[in-house]
Amino acid sequence: MGEVVRLSWSQRRFRHCSVEFVDAGSAYLDPSDVEEALRGFIQAVILRLEDEGVGDTFLQTEWSNLAALEPEEQAFCRLAASLGVDPFDTSKEQQRRIEGAASMLPPELHEEFFFSADLANLLEDAESVDEALQIASRTPVELRALCSLRQSFSTKLFHGKAPWREGYEAARALRNELSLDGEPLSDFSSIARSLGVSGGELEQAIGSGPRLSRIDGVVGFNERQSPGFVVRSVADEAKRFTFCRELFEYLSVPDGSSLIVTRARTERQKRNRAFAAEFLLPSKSLRERIDTDLVSAEVVDEIASTFGVSWAVVIHQLENHGIGRLSSD
């Protein structure tokens, strides 16, 4: 699931053997830990086969081939697999597209880009992201307050929980850091003011996206290492939501890497979506306005207008925080 692996297990009794699984549960684990455990298991099986004088099985042959891959071949396999393509069964045209797209983009964008990209339009999408990064790099302003906030806030981010919970908690922590309480951030002027920059500066730092399709936004840096934000959306509500997703990515990655927000369902994108929803529409403020399980369309519309978010964000916050649900009347 992107940055983490989710393991789940369930109770089960087998009819024809004396093995029973008696527990059920789930856990989020670091991929490297899971990979190490699986490697150990496979290697133990292969050693057992060899001890028994068994060789040239499919498992042994495949494992030997995988172990012989060069670093560049391993990188290609990861990118192809992210697209849902078998890396050992790709055509020359598919290889050309994958390698061409990878060469256009900074390595730190590869994972999220390829998880969201479409193989048929891979080169075109990569060109669009590259163009967006160029736009971001030409940002004429220096957002010093935002740069300072990044240095202080990145150490306060939460890890080790489900990604959406990390996003929610980060949004609450940032609102507390900025002394916002439940204050609505219904336009870019109020967002800029909360971040300690002028509305004009923030407006100059946000550009429009060039033909971005599956990519919602891009964050790059100018020569003074000040961020530039490029968003795909044109509607104000969607544009503010995308910017807040980008804001979270900017605050959470303090090393100056280029960043993208996408439509993929990776852990990273779930985290920044949850952050944006909670930052723009705090669940605490929502609870204070709702006193019934069923919420009318009129109330949803009023809340959406007050906080400058879409209906989808209001419904999302209502349901995901167990506050209520939209009435069908």
Distance between CA 237 and CA 242 in Å, rounded? Answer: 9
First-to-last C-alpha distance (Å) of the chain: 37
Question: How far from chain centre, in Å, is Cα 304?
Answer: 24
Asked if 232 contacts 209 with a C-beta cutoff of 8 angstroms, the reply is yes
pLDDT for the residue numbered 31? 87
9 near 21, Cβ under 8 Å?
Answer: yes
Range 88-95 contact pairs with CB under 8 angstroms and sequence separation of 24 or more: 94/119
pLDDT of residue 208: 79
Contact 84, 106 (CB under 8 A): no
Nearest residue to 58 via CA among 67, 70, 48, 46: 46
- Residue spans of the domains in the chain: they are 119-280, 281-329
Distance, CA of 261 to CA of 230 (rounded, Å):
10
SS3 at position 2:
coil
Distances (CA, A) of 220 to 124, 139, 183, 209, 261: 19, 9, 29, 12, 12
Structure-token pair, residue 149:
């906030």
State the Cα–Cα distance between residues 34 and 283, nearest whole angstrom: 34
Q: Give the pLDDT confidence score for residue 57 in this predicted structure.
A: 95
What tokens were used for 127? 């060109």
Report the C-alpha gap between 278 and 288 in whole angstroms: 14
| AA letter at 120 | A
| C-alpha distances out from residue 178 to 67, 192, 194, 266, Å | 50, 11, 6, 28
The C-alpha atoms of residue 225 and residue 150 are separated, in whole angstroms, by: 12
pLDDT for the residue 159:
66
CB atoms near residue 90 (< 10 Å): 18
Q: Concatenate the DSSP letters of all residues of 32-65 into one string.
A: HHHHHHHHHHHHHHHHHHHHTT--S-HHHHHHHH
CB 176 within 8 A of CB 158: no
Sequential pLDDT tens for the chain (329 residues): 666 788 999 999 988 888 899 999 999 888 899 999 999 999 999 999 999 999 999 999 999 989 999 999 999 999 999 999 999 899 999 999 999 999 999 999 999 999 999 899 999 999 999 999 999 999 999 999 999 999 888 766 666 677 889 999 999 999 999 999 899 999 999 999 999 999 999 999 998 766 777 899 999 999 999 999 999 877 889 999 999 999 999 998 867 789 999 998 888 899 999 999 999 999 999 999 998 899 999 999 999 999 999 999 999 999 999 999 998 76
